[in-house]
Structure 1
Amino acid sequence: MNRALNWLSALADGEPLAGFPASLRVIDGELDNRMARFIAVLPDAQNPFPRARNGEVGLLEGWGLAKAVSEAIEADRNGEKRAIVAVIDVPSQAYGRREEALGIHQALAAAVEAYAQARLAGHPVIGLLVGKAMSGAFLAHGYQAQRLIALDDSGVMVHAMGKAAAARITLRSVEELEALAAQVAPMAYDLDSYASLGLLWRKLSVDNAQAPSVADLAQVRRCLAEAVQDISQSSDLRSRLAGEHRRASREVRERLRAQWQGA
């Protein structure tokens, strides 16, 4: 069962838009009496790029995300800005020689830019974490959102890489890595540590994170609507600086601002 597909299908009951790869589902729907575009990256066993068959964000997915968001920006240029909801369950970006040779960095950068341009243009952009939000995949799909909402479930994880890979890179065992994560919040995988960095707007306890119940859907839709209202006219990410472990970030910005104003 794919969490992103389950939640996307439940939240947006319209028909998927044509013109996108099979690994990308884009549906226009409604959120609190406002137009909304729901987007999810999905596994595709027939993906022509083998490294992107399990829900990873690769070349097709990066360019597809950029197209989905950019088309919404253009369509709403002279009218009400629809909400854009990234439904997130992505295990990684696609690692492979072909991906590197064909410019996966450009594809993912295009997706990031599109999401950033959407919020700068006045679109409320929300990331709904229903599963894994890992590595460059999360950076490309959802991290630019003004508000990040996560299901409070053990299957929801946020990190730069999986535990086994992180252990290899840091020359530690997985057990040693977990012990370090208990002391250093950015190394941790749990949502409480992530929330302490100021990046998570809200956590939601649900009955079933895999297959949402009617009550789960109602709660998530209410939270998404509240996020749209909370974003209001804000196009930046400054709310993230209020986190418990962002004191140094706040101080650096204050000093830079003082230097700039005194120059």
Structure 2
Amino acid sequence: MTLADILASLFPAGHAVRVTDGLVSGDGPLGASRLAVVGIADRTALGVDGACTLSRHVLDVVQSGDRTPILVVVDSDSQRMSRRDELLGLNEYLAHLAKTLLLADAAGHPTLGLIYGHSAAGAFIATALATRVLAGLPGADPSVMDLPSVARVTKLPLETLQAMARDTPVFAPGLDNMVAAGAVHAVLDPDSPLGPQVEALIGQMGADDIRDRLGLERGGRPVAHTIAARVAQDAGGG
């Protein structure tokens, strides 16, 4: 689905969402309330300027004083690989964007990511993975790091990594692997109206992050849940 298709399915009565220089912002009616929308479109690389702009949009929603849900739509490149962005401290800007989404969640704004195109690396982590719940659409292509990049970092042959990826979802890119690992909670049905599906996901959000549990149940991340539970127990003195 294109972003225009997604917005039409979410807001059949119309919306005030716009795209400027590849960055998405605005809102539209959802049920009896409204849904704020931010994100990245057209496979735009996320640099310091874009991260600041998106952070401002998220903070504006938080400062509104209500508990408007925030949908983060993502079709991006990775973070912008430029000398200027790196010298300005791009990692800190991306971290700030992720923190604004965590702040929104803590302030009572349900945050839902929707990966509908490509995304990778810091851009993926600071947007889609920083939301409370992440959904995907068929055809989405997310990755924390693509295998050729992993090969360059680890010095392992690409063929070896490809073989490992077939058996280890937590290690591998792609929507199916992200679902198996629990990073993506659900894949939405593009042939049905998206508004009710988004409302249902928002309504199901609990107080806890359940990604480790999903990874255990789906067999894609069998150890994380046990380790997290042990850390929580030890931290609590149990």
TM-score, scaled relative to structure 2: 0.86
Moved more, 6-15 or 246-255: 6-15
Structure 2 partner of 1:73:
62
* Structure 2: stretches of 5+ with no match in the other structure: none
Structure 1 partner of 2:212:
241
Which of 38, 41, 45 is 1:56 aligned to?
Answer: 45
Contact 2:9 2:195 in 1 (8 A): no
Aligned-residue RMSD, C-alpha: 2.4
Cα distance, 1:4 vs structure 2: 4.0
Equivalence map 1:36-47=2 (5 Å): 36-43=35-42
SS in 1 for 2:101: helix
In structure 2, how many angstroms separate the alpha carbons of the residues matched to 1:164 and 1:4? 28
TM-score, scaled relative to structure 1: 0.78
Q: Which amino acid is 1:28 matched to?
A: D
The answer to whether structure 1 residue 149 and structure 2 residue 135 are counterparts is yes
Cα distance, 1:85 vs structure 2: 0.4
In structure 2, how many angstroms separate the alpha carbons of the residues matched to 1:35 and 1:127? 16
Q: Which amino acid is 2:224 matched to?
A: S
Bigger strand share = 2
SS in 2 for 1:90: strand
The answer to whether structure 1 residue 92 and structure 2 residue 78 are counterparts is yes
Cα 1:69–1:235 change in 2 (3 A) is farther
How many equivalent residue pairs? 232
Equivalence map 1:1-263=2 (5 Å): 3-4=2-3, 6-8=5-7, 11-12=10-11, 13-16=14-17, 22-43=21-42, 55-75=44-64, 77=65, 79=66, 81-153=67-139, 156-206=140-190, 215-216=191-192, 218=193, 220-231=194-205, 234-237=206-209, 239-242=210-213, 243-244=215-216, 245-262=220-237
Higher relative contact order (CA 8 A, sep 6+): 1
Contact 1:120 1:235 in 2 (8 A): no
* Structure 1: stretches of 5+ with no match in the other structure: 44-53, 207-214
Q: Which amino acid is 2:171 matched to?
A: M
In structure 1, how many angstroms separate the alpha carbons of the residues matched to 2:52 and 2:200? 30
Contact 2:17 2:28 in 1 (8 A): no
In structure 2, how many angstroms separate the alpha carbons of the residues matched to 1:30 and 1:96? 38
Cα 1:262–1:119 change in 2 (3 A) is closer
In structure 2, how many angstroms separate the alpha carbons of the residues matched to 1:31 and 1:194? 27
Cα distance, 1:99 vs structure 2: 0.5
SS in 1 for 2:130: coil
Cα distance, 1:240 vs structure 2: 1.0
Cα 1:257–1:186 change in 2 (3 A) is closer
